[in-house]
Amino acid sequence: MKVGDIVKGLITNIKPYGAFVKIDEDNNGLIHISEISDKYVRNIEDILTVGEIVELQVIKITDDNKISLSYRNINRKKRRKYQEVKLTEGFKPFEQKLPEWIKNYKVQKDE
């Protein structure tokens, strides 16, 4: 197992700071609360449950074999990078109104 690998794990315990996961007979890991979702997570149990098997990404392995996992990297929803917008009017109305606005501003300022 190495950083970047996708693994399946069994949620064994949930604490306020994260969820403990059994990856296989020899390896256990932790999904920190910050690695559960891109959104704010008030209660981990709203997203994960004990006994659930989930796909995770290995994000860190320490020298003493502590494994950090990410649920959000695998379950992140694809977002559009941009949205196409078609302008039907453009800046023409602005261009037409600007002289009128300037004239009205000068009249109000002079009063």
Which pLDDT belongs to residue 94?
73
Average pLDDT of the residues in 11-35:
92
What are the residue ranges spanned by the domains of the chain?
Answer: 6-75
Owner of token pair 């039907």: 88
Could you tell me the pLDDT band of residue 88, with boundaries at 50, 70 and 90? low
Look at residue 109 and tell me whether its pLDDT is greater than 70: no
Residues 16 and 44 sit within 8 Å (Cβ to Cβ): yes
pLDDT tens string 38-70: 889 899 999 999 999 999 999 998 888 899 999
Q: What is the mean pLDDT of the chain?
A: 84
Residues 71-76, mean pLDDT to the nearest whole number: 86
User: Was domain 6-75 assigned CATH 3.30.365.10?
Assistant: no
Check residue 71 and give left, alpha or beta (phi > 0: left; psi -120 to 50: alpha). Answer: alpha
